[in-house]
Amino acid sequence: MEKEFTKEQQYVLARKRVEKISKFYKHLASYIVVNIFLTAIFIVGDMNDGDSFKEAFTDYHNYKIWLYWGIGIAFQALNTFGLNLFMSKDWEEKKIKKYMDEQDNRR
């Protein structure tokens, strides 16, 4: 059963959705900026401890924060956009049409 919303209710729901998406993109931007800064600090610190640039650049420990914080970002993306971020109804319909077209071309 579909609910009928008034224009005002639709506006409030749309506004909340846009705010949620906006928060996600702000979090994503801070994730990128902060992690670049921290990784640079870690690499410089390793170089000061005697590692070469290549050793410091390829050291996994300098990138752990990307992984752990990235898991949080992934969960926030799923919460914001839902599971249909990758496989929406539109995607399903396009795939069905594609396979139907392929079958028509075989005949």
d(CA 91, CA 79): 19
Express each pLDDT in 1-13 by its tens digit: 456 778 888 888 8
Q: 86: helix, coil or strand? A: coil
- Determine the pLDDT at residue 86: 62
Exposure class string for 47-77: b at 16+ Cβ within 10 A, else e:
eeeeeeeeebeeeeebbeebeebeeeeeebe
Residue 84 has pLDDT above 60, yes or no: yes
Are 48 and 29 in contact by the 8 Å Cβ rule? The answer is no
Express each pLDDT in 25-77 by its tens digit: 999 999 999 999 999 999 999 999 998 989 989 988 889 999 999 999 999 99
Determine what percent of the chain is predicted with pLDDT higher than 90: 46
**In the chain, domain spans:** 7-106
- Determine the pLDDT at residue 1: 46
- Determine the pLDDT at residue 52: 92
Residue 93: band (very low, low, confident or very high) from pLDDT cuts 50, 70, 90: confident
Residue ranges of the alpha helices (H) in the chain? Answer: 7-48, 53-58, 64-81, 89-106
Residue 99 has pLDDT above 60, yes or no: yes
Q: 2: helix, coil or strand? A: coil
